[in-house]
């Protein structure tokens, strides 16, 4: 369907405004303190000339350094479209790409000049009477453009990502690129009024945050075909974004993934509607069926999760309907959302098995770090930071020049965590990583100014389409997997290992737990909003240790016979599962050790001697009359062990809700601590002083 561009012409027509803008050009001066000043030079060179020369552009101050490194043989880019207004419009797009640093000199006078020659031929042949790019039916024109390129023998596709995917070639994209950019440049409406929002504009004007390491900058509302509904959805998304209350740009993109399909489906059932007032449970039941059909037929990725897709869709639609009722939108359903969607509509989500937590095994890490110096030089420090901090790749790429801190001789990275809204998150790092970051920070400071790095990123693009923003996540991921293929980094089965950047975060968590770091500390280091994910890491660790434990057990096990003698269980005999489980519990909870081994009854709080230690209670609840503590040099170690095991027994009892047992353990703990405090000072404790006196024949006075 042809879409007309709405353009705010103001007092001048937009062609007149284009001519005014092309009658001068900006010259940037970068000062020693990094500040930038811009001066407009009145010179109609780019307006009146249909051939732009690289020498002229290279003399403009901001292009001088680029010109010194210019290697292309091409010297000119030509604008030869038949209609002078269309020619002006194409110039205008190229002018902005050049002076906004989206295209380098090599790109303008090389690849883009070649693409423009082909597009000029196509438009002059197929659209000789075209008055403006805005008059194009872009869908129809693009189909004709691709067919024309194919007939001329030009390549329209390119292979992406090691031959797995195909995409349009640069020249195939060129018509759409020129058309889209011209549409954006000439649409001077408020961003909220447009049907396609650019988050970069909203960030500059309203502070709407976004993930700067991604390349998807737009929200496209054109997929909502019903005009009234499109306006209402835009109003809703704007309200949620401006509230900045757990509704991010990424969340908005998720809403735009489900809402257009939902609305299109409802209006296909009710073509006379222009709102949702009459929405009934029967409509929702049909939509739920559609979600299931789509999830079954279209989610083909290896890691696809149909239940999650359905649940997320129902969650978003439910929240939208609930909110428009709460905000009293005119389009809101009359029937309350609680009667339209029920909790049981959401399928029970299958949790990944513990083995599916995608950390990077040691076998793969060894290969990775053996060849790390062959990885792209800009990616190496990104991977090292991810591996040594557990930061998400978006947070790594978002690190700024002030992130490195030194306190009491120890280094930390301090940064904001966007996903969980944590400000000033601190992660301790080793000196090696601190030194690497210090070098990168120094290099970035030397090369940065307010023009090319206004927000002070470390992993920054100084020019090109991403100027002023960090490396893209996709670029890092592609470099990493090209490296894995080149170096044949494989898993233990010999299969090429797919190194996802998020796997470094999982690997960091597992390594922390393996090193004995407690789970709450790991949760804090990872800035998890809740302990749920951290607990899954701990379960993975427990499962790994269990397998290693069973391997040791199978190596050789002995048992006590009826006479209390040690007897070997023959190799190959099956060990009963309950015995294996008990042994594992002993191994896992080794703080339950007593002076003789590890007690199963103590673990469950069922040992009568744990509740009332015999030597201290056998005399009608009092210590044995013949007990003396402190003579043996090992007594201190004995009571240290008693205290350790009693503390653990108390924790186990509290965990299982056995407050009665916990109280008894606490009484024992206080008694042990009192004894230990005395014998550590060299004192001796006797069971009964009067009994000792009588043994010595001393009479009471």
Token reading at 469: 């923003």
Question: Where would I find the beta strands (DSSP E) of 315-456?
Answer: 404-407, 410-417, 422-429
State yes or no: pLDDT of 548 exceeds 80: no
According to the model, what pLDDT value does residue 10 have? 43
Mean pLDDT of 181-188: 91
Q: Are 597 and 589 in contact (CB under 8 A)?
A: no
State yes or no: pLDDT of 232 exceeds 80: yes
State yes or no: pLDDT of 515 exceeds 80: no
Tell which wins on pLDDT, 562 or 470. 470
Place of tokens 């557990």: 390
Phi, psi of 35 (to 5 degrees): -75, 160
Domain limits, CATH 1.10.443.10, in the chain: 362-536
Q: Which of 434-443, 465-474, 571-580 has the lowest mean pLDDT?
A: 571-580
What CATH number matches the domain at 362-536, 2.40.50.100, 3.50.50.60, 3.30.950.10, 1.10.443.10? 1.10.443.10
pTM listed for this prediction: 0.68
According to the model, what pLDDT value does residue 584 have? 52
State yes or no: pLDDT of 688 exceeds 80: no
Place of tokens 């998150």: 425
CA 274/CA 276 separation, integer angstroms = 7
Q: Are 641 and 594 in contact (CB under 8 A)?
A: yes
CA 536/CA 523 separation, integer angstroms = 11
State yes or no: pLDDT of 333 exceeds 60: yes
According to the model, what pLDDT value does residue 344 have? 92
Phi, psi of 657 (to 5 degrees): 75, 15
Give percent of the chain with pLDDT exceeding 70. Answer: 79
Parallel/antiparallel/unpaired status of strands 566-569 and 593-594? unpaired
State yes or no: pLDDT of 108 exceeds 60: yes
Mean pLDDT of 148-156: 93
Phi, psi of 457 (to 5 degrees): -80, 155
Place of tokens 């690997």: 507
């Amino acid at each position: 369907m042809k879409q007309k561009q709405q353009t705010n012409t103001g007092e001048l027509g937009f062609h007149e405004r284009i001519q005014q803008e092309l009658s001068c050009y900006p010259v940037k001066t970068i000062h020693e303190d990094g500040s930038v000043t811009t001066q407009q030079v009145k010179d109609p060179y780019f307006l009146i000339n249909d051939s732009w020369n690289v020498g002229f552009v290279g003399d403009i101050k901001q292009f001088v350094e680029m010109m010194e490194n210019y290697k292309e043989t091409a010297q000119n880019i030509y604008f030869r479209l038949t209609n002078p207004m269309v020619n002006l419009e194409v110039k205008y797009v190229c002018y902005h790409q050049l002076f906004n640093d989206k295209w380098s000199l090599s790109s303008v006078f090389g690849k883009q000049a070649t693409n423009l020659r082909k597009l000029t031929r196509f438009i002059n042949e197929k659209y000789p009477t075209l008055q403006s790019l805005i008059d194009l039916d872009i869908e129809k024109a693009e189909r004709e453009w691709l067919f024309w390129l194919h007939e001329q023998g030009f390549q329209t596709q390119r292979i992406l990502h090691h031959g797995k995917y195909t995409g349009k070639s640069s020249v195939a994209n060129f018509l759409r690129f020129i058309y889209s950019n011209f549409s954006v440049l000439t649409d001077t409406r408020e961003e909220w009024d447009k049907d396609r929002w650019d988050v970069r504009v909203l960030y500059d004007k309203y502070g709407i945050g976004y993930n700067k390491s991604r390349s998807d900058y737009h929200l496209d509302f054109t997929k909502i075909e019903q005009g009234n509904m499109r306006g209402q959805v835009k109003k809703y998304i704007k309200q949620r974004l401006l509230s900045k209350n757990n509704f991010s740009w990424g969340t908005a993109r998720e809403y735009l993934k489900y809402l257009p399909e939902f609305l299109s489906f409802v209006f296909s059932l009710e073509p006379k509607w222009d709102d949702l007032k009459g929405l009934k449970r029967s409509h929702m039941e049909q939509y739920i069926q559609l979600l299931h059909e789509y999830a079954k037929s279209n989610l083909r990725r290896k890691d696809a999760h149909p239940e999650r897709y359905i649940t997320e869709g129902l969650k978003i639609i439910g929240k939208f309907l609930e909110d428009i009722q709460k905000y009293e939108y005119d389009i809101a359903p009359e029937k309350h959302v609680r009667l339209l969607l029920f909790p049981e509509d959401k399928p029970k989500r299958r949790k990944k098995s513990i083995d599916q937590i995608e950390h990077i095994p040691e076998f793969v890490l060894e290969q990775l770090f053996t060849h790390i110096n062959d990885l792209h030089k800009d990616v190496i420090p990104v991977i090292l930071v991810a591996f040594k901090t557990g930061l998400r790749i978006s947070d790594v790429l978002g690190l700024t020049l002030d992130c490195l801190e030194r306190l009491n001789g120890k280094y930390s990275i301090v940064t904001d965590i966007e996903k969980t809204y944590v400000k000033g998150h601190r992660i301790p790092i080793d000196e090696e990583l601190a030194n690497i970051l210090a070098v990168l920070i120094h290099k970035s400071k030397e090369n940065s100014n307010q023009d090319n790095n206004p927000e002070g990123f470390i992993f920054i693009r100084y020019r090109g389409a991403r100027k002023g923003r960090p490396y893209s996540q996709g670029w890092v991921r592609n470099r990493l997997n090209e490296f894995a293929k080149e170096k044949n980094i494989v898993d233990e089965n010999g299969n090429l290992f797919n190194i996802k950047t998020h796997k470094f975060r999982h690997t960091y968590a597992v390594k922390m737990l393996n090193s004995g770091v407690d789970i709450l500390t790991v949760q804090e280091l990872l800035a998890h909003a809740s302990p749920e994910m951290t607990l899954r890491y701990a379960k993975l660790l427990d499962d790994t240790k269990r397998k290693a434990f069973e391997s040791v057990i199978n190596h050789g096990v002995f048992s006590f016979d009826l006479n209390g003698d040690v007897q070997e269980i023959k190799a190959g005999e099956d060990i009963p599962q309950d015995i294996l489980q008990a042994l594992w519990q002993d191994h896992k909870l080794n703080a339950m050790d007593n002076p003789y081994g590890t007690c199963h009854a103590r673990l469950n709080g069922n040992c009568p001697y744990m509740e009332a230690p015999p030597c201290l209670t056998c005399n009608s609840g009092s210590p044995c009359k013949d007990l003396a503590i402190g003579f043996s040099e090992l007594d201190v170690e004995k009571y240290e062990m008693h205290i350790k095991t009693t503390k653990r027994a108390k924790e186990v009892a509290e965990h299982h809700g056995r407050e009665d047992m916990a109280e008894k353990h606490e009484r024992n703990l206080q008694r042990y601590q009192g004894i230990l405090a005395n014998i550590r000072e060299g004192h001796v404790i006797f069971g009964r002083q009067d009994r000792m006196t009588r043994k010595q024949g001393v009479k009471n006075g």
